[in-house]
């Protein structure tokens, strides 16, 4: 599922292509994905406006036009790709290890392509989403930050002043499992299932630990770990474990670097213990029972050696 690093990667690659471009035409093929305005007036109002800025906020991609804006959420399987007329979407399909046919480049327009933004010279932005959990939200004017979807969203984790943020201790008194808090978009923005598991592993915290039992030093460690795994995700252009693609259709390379997500039943990269998969906060959760052991506190020297090894490896 596209989380902060995936959405950031998409934004960074779409922005230089789209900014300054006039929208010549909009095709909307699945109307229920559009919120904020009926399809006909939406297309009428957007047409002719210029894309001034493309930004990211939480897991949303923000298209600021000269009058209005719209934001796109990729849901679970959303893909935002960019197609030049001169190099149309690549129709070549290759067989993956599981035997599935996947396109090599930009996915051709098909029944899952729900929105096409036509720019000058035949350039197009394609929004494709097989599971249709994504959303296109029209917002009149440019004050998208005050939209109900975003107004309560927590701070951006990568530009977060952690010590200052930690002064607010209210969220830390919760009885929820820590994984639920770190994935809560109103607490901190952009962390989803993949990077939550990775951040918890990196800070050696068991995902089911009750928030109120997380000590201050661990709170800080968790947020720092989140920053590291998110930044690494961006550096590797995102995690392609199923549907995520870069705007040119290519894969991100972060999947093979993950420590726990998607690795249930496999040995921990640090201690070789078999990673466990459980359900926490209604989400599949992978963790290392030893490195993130709850029960009797790990001996401090073991913890120190794990941390040392983690530092070296991660």
Partner DNA sequence: AATTCGCCCTGTCGGC
Partner DNA sequence: TGCCGACAGGGCGAAT
Residue 273 lies near DNA (rule: CB under 7 A): no
Region of 16-24, 120-128, 180-188, 245-253 interacting with DNA (CB under 7 A): 180-188
Can you tell me which residue has the tokens 């090894």?
309
Distance from C-alpha of 124 to C-alpha of 218, rounded to nearest angstrom:
46
Give me the catalytic one of 5, 6, 56, 59. 59
Residue 136 lies near DNA (rule: CB under 7 A): no
Cβ-based nearer residue to DNA, 101 or 301 = 101
Distance from C-alpha of 39 to C-alpha of 143, rounded to nearest angstrom:
21
Pairing of strands 34-35, 135-139: parallel
Residue 269 lies near DNA (rule: CB under 7 A): no
Region of 43-51, 113-121, 173-181, 227-235 interacting with DNA (CB under 7 A): 173-181
Residue 283 lies near DNA (rule: CB under 7 A): yes
The H or E element containing residue 27 is: strand 25-28
Residue 208 lies near DNA (rule: CB under 7 A): no
Q: Is 283 a catalytic residue?
A: yes
Can you tell me which residue has the tokens 């035997």?
99
Can you tell me which residue has the tokens 């029972």?
289
Distance from C-alpha of 115 to C-alpha of 52, rounded to nearest angstrom:
19
Distances (CA, A) of 19 to 10, 104, 168, 312: 14, 26, 38, 40
Q: Is 59 a catalytic residue?
A: yes
**Listed residue (314, 137, 160) closest to 223, CA to CA:** 160
**Listed residue (21, 80, 74, 78) closest to 51, CA to CA:** 21
Q: Is 256 a catalytic residue?
A: no
Cβ-based nearer residue to DNA, 58 or 223 = 58
Task: Give the shortest CB-273-to-DNA separation in angstroms.
Answer: 20
Using CB under 7 A, which of 146, 167, 175, 313 touches DNA? 175
Residue 36 lies near DNA (rule: CB under 7 A): no
Question: Helix, strand, coil shares of the chain as percentages rounded to 5?
Answer: 35, 20, 45
Cβ-based nearer residue to DNA, 49 or 133 = 133
Q: Is 64 a catalytic residue?
A: no
Region of 96-104, 155-163, 219-227, 306-314 interacting with DNA (CB under 7 A): 96-104
Residue 100 lies near DNA (rule: CB under 7 A): yes
* DSSP calls for 245-291: --TTSPPPS-GGG-SSTT-TTSBPTTT-PBPEEEEETTEEEEE-TTT
Residue 176 lies near DNA (rule: CB under 7 A): yes
Residue 188 lies near DNA (rule: CB under 7 A): no
- 8 Å CB contact between 129 and 112: yes
Task: Give the shortest CB-209-to-DNA separation in angstroms.
Answer: 13
Task: Give the shortest CB-33-to-DNA separation in angstroms.
Answer: 10
Binding residues with DNA: total (CB under 7 A): 30
Distances (CA, A) of 272 to 28, 207, 263, 295: 49, 19, 12, 19
Using CB under 7 A, which of 21, 49, 67, 185 touches DNA? 185
Q: Six-digit token pair at 144? A: 């998208």
Task: Give the shortest CB-188-to-DNA separation in angstroms.
Answer: 11
Q: Six-digit token pair at 186? A: 């109103």
Give me the catalytic one of 2, 130, 177, 247. 2
Query: Which residues would be at the binding site for DNA (CB under 7 A)?
Result: 1, 32, 58-59, 73, 75-76, 98-100, 111-112, 130-133, 149, 174-177, 180, 183, 185, 192-193, 281-284
């Amino acid at each position: 599922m596209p989380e902060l690093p995936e959405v950031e990667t998409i934004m960074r690659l779409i922005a230089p292509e789209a900014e300054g471009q006039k929208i010549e035409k909009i095709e909307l093929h699945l109307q229920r994905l559009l919120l904020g305005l009926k399809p006909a007036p939406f297309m009428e109002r957007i047409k002719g406006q210029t894309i001034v800025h493309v930004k990211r906020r939480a897991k949303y991609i923000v298209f600021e036009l000269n009058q209005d804006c719209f934001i796109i959420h990729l849901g679970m399987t959303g893909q935002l790709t960019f197609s030049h007329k001169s190099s149309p979407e690549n129709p070549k399909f290759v067989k993956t290890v599981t035997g599935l046919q996947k396109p090599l480049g930009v996915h051709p327009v098909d029944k899952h392509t729900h929105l096409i933004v036509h720019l000058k010279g035949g350039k197009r932005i394609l929004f494709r989403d097989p599971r249709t959990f994504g959303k296109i939200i029209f917002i009149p004017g440019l004050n998208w930050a005050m939209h109900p979807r975003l107004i309560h969203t927590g701070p951006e984790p990568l530009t977060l002043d952690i010590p200052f943020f930690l002064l607010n201790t209210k969220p830390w008194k919760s009885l929820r499992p820590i994984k639920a808090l770190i994935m809560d978009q109103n607490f901190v923005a952009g962390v989803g299932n993949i990077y939550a598991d990775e951040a918890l592993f990196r800070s050696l915290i068991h995902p089911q630990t009750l928030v109120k039992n997380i000590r201050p030093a661990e709170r800080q460690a968790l947020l720092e770990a989140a920053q590291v795994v998110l930044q690494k995700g961006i550096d590797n252009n995102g995690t392609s474990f199923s549907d995520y693609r870069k705007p040119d259709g290519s894969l991100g390379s972060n999947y093979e670097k993950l420590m726990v997500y998607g690795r249930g039943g496999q040995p921990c990269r640090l201690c070789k213990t078999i990673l466990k998969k459980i359900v926490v906060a209604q989400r599949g959760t992978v963790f290392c029972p030893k490195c993130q052991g709850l029960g009797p506190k790990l001996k401090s020297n073991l913890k120190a050696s794990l941390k040392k090894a983690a530092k070296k490896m991660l």
